Amino acid sequence: MVLVLAIGDLHIPHRAPDLPAKFKSMLVPGKIQHILCTGNLCIKEVHDYLKSLSPDLHITRGEYDEDVRYPENKTLSIGQFKLGLCHGHQIVPWGDLDSLAMLQRQLDIDILVTGHTHQFKAYKHEGGVIINPGSATGAYSSITYDANPSFVLMDIDGLRVVVYVYELIDGEVKVDKIDFKKTATTQSAH
Amino acid sequence: MNSSPVDASASDASSMPQKRFSNLRSVRWRIDLGVLPSSPPASIDDIRRVTADTRRRYANLRRRLLIDHHSPKYGKASPDLTVDNPLSQNPDSTWGRFFSYAELGKMIDQDLSRLYPEHSGYFHTPICQALLRRILLLWCLQHPEYGYRQGMHELLAPLVYVLHFDLDHLTQVQKLYEDFFSDEFDKISFPEGDFLSSHRIRRVKNWESGIEIENNLHKITNDHSRDELDPDTREMLLLSDSYGAEGELGVILSERFMEHDAYFMFENLMFGDQGVVSMASFFSPVAGSNSNLPPVIEASSALYYLLSIVDSSLHSHLVELEVEPQYFALRWLRVLFGREFCLDDLLVIWDELFYSSNSRYLDNDVEFNFEVLCSPRGAFIAALAVSMLLYVRSLLLATETATTCLQRLLSFPQNPDMKKLIEQAKSLQVLALESNILSSSCQTYSNKNQLTICRGYSLPSASALPKTSLNVIADRYWEEQWRVLHKDEELRKQSNGHLSSSGIMKKILTKRLSFSRTNSEPFEGNNAHALSSVRRRLFDDSSEVIEAAKDHVKSECNESPVISNNLNVGKGFPEELADQRTSNCMVEETFLSGHNALVVSTPTSPHDIGNDHENESEKSSITSNSFLGDNDEETISMEESCSQNKQDEESTNMEEPCCQNLDKQLAQDAEATSSGDVDSIPEQIAAPKDQKPFAGKFQWLWRFGRGSKEENQESKRSQNAGHIQKDGFDISQCDGTYASCGINKRIEVGDKKVMDTIRNLGQSMLEHIQVIETVFQQDKSKFDPLDNLSNNILGGKGQGTAIAALKELRKISSLLREM
């Protein structure tokens, strides 16, 4: 019953003034246990706001982030799952599944969360899950046109993860759900 | 009926035939709380069926409320994700419910971690904590209007403990009589799979039984048949038998269903099983239906009210310090004294508490003071609180500030004498029940009081709660009478100096009598203040009377025999004074000692002295007869002398022989009078206010002897009328005199007054009847025969006053007969 928020690419204040109001009303403190932020916040105020939603905040560095101390990659373990976080601009071609899978193998994780493309994607790949939460503000991207604001909420419960996708389409919040089940822990190849 | 012993857990069932399952607290409590049927005699099978039903209900509830929202709901289409997502604001969504459960759970966990740290070995095991948590969570979810409040866990914990305790007891019995209980054949045991079995000895039963075969000390062999078991064990067998009605689900002492049972015990405790006292209402800040206060505040005021009746000095002290009852009573009431006593003592208290029924015993249209006192259980709670206050009475009275007082209250002594506490609580319980009822005549008064009470005792006027409502009526009535008579006295003052003053004397006498009559009214507690004040008034009056008489007599007599008599008088008066005083002291003693004393309400009449034994009344009647006899002679001689002497001297003469009689009377009664508190007498000698002649009743005799002077007679009539209604005995005595004198002139004298007299007599009869009624109302439910006389102070006093009132009635009726 652990709720993990995956969010990123807000580009505040450069490309967007703020989160959409509807998203803001949904994100109330106390419900979410962890936040994985892919990067490009860009300023400290956004960092503080996210910190207020949950005490456990993990951020990786995006190319426009003003705080240079964020790491490039991050891994953490929640429940039975190993999660990994990266902004994604380091992985070329941007948004390519196979390249991201390489990173997943490299970090030895079950769930990889990346961003940069400003487009929501969720792949089930080689016993793992690769998730791209998109841009929470729907900020301009040179590789995606008409990006809708979106973010992802993961409900990790034992060996099962339910991914809720929240998208703001035409002013309405649309929710979608994807179920992933982890097979019995496999031997990690080292 | 109420003779259940204090410690029920250890005693044999046979010692209390009316209390079933006395050694199995959990079953007993379940019956008392209403979970199991109590209508006697419910058979074991019935009980098992009800148990099974309740358990099914709980299982359903649990399944329904602790849903697993991951499992797909059959028959429900794909859930509407806009509603059912975790971030949904919609409270109806499964996630919304999940989050509210999580919040409640957090609160409950916080409390549970602090539960009974001294018994942490039991209460802090994860199994127990999970059990408690689940029960509380389910109850709160089932009753969202109450939510979870701190303290509910402390109500639940002893219930679970008691269930577990009985299960332990069961295992011990099972060990002892294992052949009857076990399902074992060929020494192979079937695993139960109970979660608590790791804590129990049963696992190692085989091993231990192997050893016991050699010892054979306690083991019962197979030779015994089931019928040879003692009834307790047989009962246990039936209660734990898996093959009885409803099979496994019906096993009354079952480990597997401990949670279910505890849930329903808790539920019934919280809601009082449709009774008056529901603990849940104590937790809610919502105002109750009857008053404008939250029930717990009202209950706190109820206990202060009870305290004011029982011990007004402590009550006024607490009010003075501005210690509002809810400061400490909140904790006491909300966890039913769970924080004040250790667990074992608490179990004993709860035994008693649950044994008192919770059903409202008043009809709907009867007005009452406090909602909480409407049931025996509520009354017991209030009574126990008051007895706890009385237990630390001296500590509390020694405190100077509110904070120290509260400190002492909140740290109740560790090992109190439980037996004493509970006995006292039981006696106060009845008192509480009685005092809750308002009689119709005192409606407004009590309502007014209720308002002051409900203002939370912040007003000092609340502390001035008087004894009973009847006292108020009595006071007002007698005061009125006195005022009426006093007016006459004023009138007469102008007309006839001497005689009116004698009338005044009579008024003083009657006033004194009236106050003494107030004395005999029933009052509920050791209301020393009022009593002493009344007594002081009596003393003052009597001192006035005696002093005035002394002076008067001294000033007015001029004949040598008179003088000699006067000396007698002079001697007699102090004696009389002493006599009066002692009689009053006797009154005091009687009330304080609480014997079944005859408190006769006319201590002024020299023969009617408060005595300890009923036969003394006969003695007094005998003496009165002798007095009559004396009076005969005196009257005759008086007549002769009267016809000769002037009016003034006659009255004097009247008094002298009467005083002589008094002397004789005193001599006769000297031995009868126990020399009470003669020490208090010297202080009482106050300066007389007026010069009033003594013994107004002798005026009556004088009048008869004289048979003349209309205006005097007029005044006398009114005096006598007033006199009659107060002093029935004197009337009868005077009447006897009248009859014995054989003077028939009296008839026309008395005729007009007869009507008035009869009216007044009727009224006083009514008063006495009311007195008796109230006394016996108090006595009726708490009449303990013989054994508890010493404890039953109130009963004794009540009986004494009732008997006094009866005597008065008898006198009045005899008087009426003669008229």
What pLDDT shows up at residue A48? Answer: 93
Strands A111-113 and A81-86: parallel
Residues in chain A with CB shorter than 8 Å from the CB of B85 are 153, 164, 166, 175, 177
For B188-192, B502-506, B763-767, B783-787, which range has the lowest pLDDT when averaged over its residues? B783-787
Cα B371 to Cα B682: distance, rounded to the nearest angstrom: 50
pTM higher than 0.90: no
Q: How confident is the model at residue B786 (pLDDT cuts 50, 70, 90)?
A: very low
For A173, nearest residue in chain B (alpha carbons) = B82
Cβ pairs bridging A and B (under 8 Å):
33
Q: Tell whether the torsion through CA atoms of B55, B32, B331 and B346 is positive or negative.
A: negative
Residues of B with CB under 8 A from a CB of A: 70, 81-82, 85-89, 98-99
Measured in degrees and rounded to the nearest 5, phi and psi for residue B771 equal: -55, -50
Measured in degrees and rounded to the nearest 5, phi and psi for residue A153 equal: -125, 125
Q: Which residue carries 């009589």 as its tokens?
A: B177
Span B730-771, pLDDT tens digits: 444 444 444 444 444 444 445 666 677 777 777 777 777 777
Q: What is the ipTM of this complex?
A: 0.76
Span A27-69, pLDDT tens digits: 988 889 999 999 998 899 999 999 999 989 999 999 999 888 9
Contact A155 B98 (CB under 8 A): no
SS3 content of chain B, % helix, strand, coil (to 5): 70, 0, 30
Residues in chain B with CB shorter than 8 Å from the CB of A177 are 81, 85
Contact B87 A176 (CB under 8 A): no
Cα B815 to Cα B819: distance, rounded to the nearest angstrom: 6
Q: How many CA atoms lie within 13 A of B572 on its CB side?
A: 26
H-type helices in B645-745, by residue range?
A: 647-670, 680-684, 696-706, 710-726, 728-741
Tokens for B341, please give them.
Answer: 């006593």
Distance from CA of B378 to the nearest CA of A (A): 42
Contact A173 B82 (CB under 8 A): yes
Distance from CA of B64 to the nearest CA of A (A): 19
Cα A186 to Cα A184: distance, rounded to the nearest angstrom: 6
Residues in chain A with CB shorter than 8 Å from the CB of B82 are 173-175
* Integer-rounded Cα radius of gyration of chain A: 15
Closest CB to A27: pick one of B87, B88, B99.
Answer: B87
Q: Which residue carries 């206050």 as its tokens?
A: B389
| B158, B170 Cβ separation under 8 angstroms | no
| A103, A86 Cβ separation under 8 angstroms | yes
At position A27, the amino acid (one-letter code) is L
What pLDDT shows up at residue B363? Answer: 65
pLDDT higher for B787 or B143?
B143
Cα B58 to Cα B434: distance, rounded to the nearest angstrom: 39
Cα B223 to Cα A147: distance, rounded to the nearest angstrom: 88
In three-state secondary structure terms, B438 is coil
Q: Does A106 touch chain B (CB under 8 A)?
A: no
Contact B81 A160 (CB under 8 A): no
Measured in degrees and rounded to the nearest 5, phi and psi for residue B125 equal: -70, 145
Closest CB to A177: pick one of B81, B88, B99.
Answer: B81
Q: Which of B82, B83, B87, B95 to mutate to test the interface with A (most CBs of A within 10 A)?
A: B87
Strands A2-7 and A34-37: parallel
Span A90-142, pLDDT tens digits: 999 998 999 999 999 999 999 999 999 999 999 998 888 999 999 999 999 98
Distance from CA of A156 to the nearest CA of B (A): 11
In three-state secondary structure terms, B652 is helix
Contact B81 A175 (CB under 8 A): yes
Strands A81-86 and A34-37: unpaired
Alpha-carbon distance values, B39 to B17, B34, B46, B474, B568 (Å): 15, 10, 11, 45, 75
Alpha-carbon distance values, B465 to B19, B52, B57, B313 (Å): 39, 51, 49, 11
At position B796, the amino acid (one-letter code) is G
| B288, B294 Cβ separation under 8 angstroms | yes
pLDDT higher for B379 or B508?
B379
Q: Does A27 touch chain B (CB under 8 A)?
A: yes
Cα B306 to Cα B420: distance, rounded to the nearest angstrom: 18
Span B614-640, pLDDT tens digits: 444 444 344 444 444 344 444 444 444
Span B88-117, pLDDT tens digits: 777 667 777 778 888 888 888 888 888 888
Instruction: Give the residue from B68, B43, B28 showing the smallest Cα distance to B166.
Output: B28
The DSSP secondary structure of B350-419, one letter per residue, reads HHHHHHS--S--S-TTS-BS-GGGGSHHHHHHHHHHHHHHHHTHHHHHH--SHHHHHHHHHS--SS--HH
Contact A155 B86 (CB under 8 A): yes
Residue B745's CB: how many other CB atoms inside 10 A? 12
What pLDDT shows up at residue A47? Answer: 93
Q: Does A169 touch chain B (CB under 8 A)?
A: no
Residues in chain A with CB shorter than 8 Å from the CB of B87 are 26-28, 31, 153, 164, 166
Strands A160-169 and A172-181: antiparallel
Q: How confident is the model at residue B657 (pLDDT cuts 50, 70, 90)?
A: very low
Span B554-595, pLDDT tens digits: 444 444 444 444 444 444 444 444 444 444 444 334 333 333
Q: Which of B70, B78, B80, B85 to mutate to test the interface with A (most CBs of A within 10 A)?
A: B85
Give B545's contacts (C-beta < 8 A, 6+ positions apart).
Answer: B505, B508, B509, B512, B692, B694
Tokens for B132, please give them.
Answer: 């408690």
Contact A164 B85 (CB under 8 A): yes
State which of A70-84, B66-80, B146-160, B266-280 shows the largest mean pLDDT: A70-84
Angle at CA of residue B626, ends B621 and B632, nearest 5°: 125
pLDDT higher for B515 or A93?
A93
What pLDDT shows up at residue B26? Answer: 79
Distance from CA of A50 to the nearest CA of B (A): 15
Q: Does A168 touch chain B (CB under 8 A)?
A: no
In three-state secondary structure terms, A129 is strand
Q: Does A7 touch chain B (CB under 8 A)?
A: no
Alpha-carbon distance values, A188 to A111, A114, B2, B155 (Å): 14, 22, 75, 52
What pLDDT shows up at residue B289? Answer: 64
**Beta bridge partners of residue B30, listed in sequence order:** none
Instruction: Give the residue from A128, A121, A57 showing the smallest Cα distance to A88.
Output: A121
Share the mean pLDDT of chain B.
62
Contact B70 A157 (CB under 8 A): yes
| B803, B617 Cβ separation under 8 angstroms | no
User: Which A-chain residues 117-156 have CB contacts (< 8 A) with chain B?
Assistant: 153, 155
Mean local confidence (pLDDT), B343-349: 85
**Beta bridge partners of residue A123, listed in sequence order:** A130
Span A55-64, pLDDT tens digits: 899 999 999 9
Cα B470 to Cα B456: distance, rounded to the nearest angstrom: 25
For B27-41, B89-103, B150-164, B727-741, which range has the lowest pLDDT when averaged over its residues? B727-741
Instruction: Name the percent of chain B lying above pLDDT 70.
Output: 45
Closest CB to A175: pick one of B70, B82, B89.
Answer: B82
| pLDDT at residue A3 tops 50 | yes
Give B9's contacts (C-beta < 8 A, 6+ positions apart).
Answer: B23, B25, B347, B348, B351
For A165, nearest residue in chain B (alpha carbons) = B85
Q: How confident is the model at residue B381 (pLDDT cuts 50, 70, 90)?
A: confident
Contact A177 B85 (CB under 8 A): yes
Q: For residue B279, what is the enclosing H or E element?
A: helix B279-283
Give B480's contacts (C-beta < 8 A, 6+ positions apart).
Answer: none
Alpha-carbon distance values, B631 to B238, B622, B626, B654, B817 (Å): 82, 14, 8, 11, 22
Distance from CA of A3 to the nearest CA of B (A): 8
Angle at CA of residue B711, ends B705 and B716, nearest 5°: 55
Distance from CA of A86 to the nearest CA of B (A): 25
At position A116, the amino acid (one-letter code) is H
What pLDDT shows up at residue B789? Answer: 44
**Beta bridge partners of residue B676, listed in sequence order:** none
Contact B82 A174 (CB under 8 A): yes
Mean local confidence (pLDDT), B308-324: 85
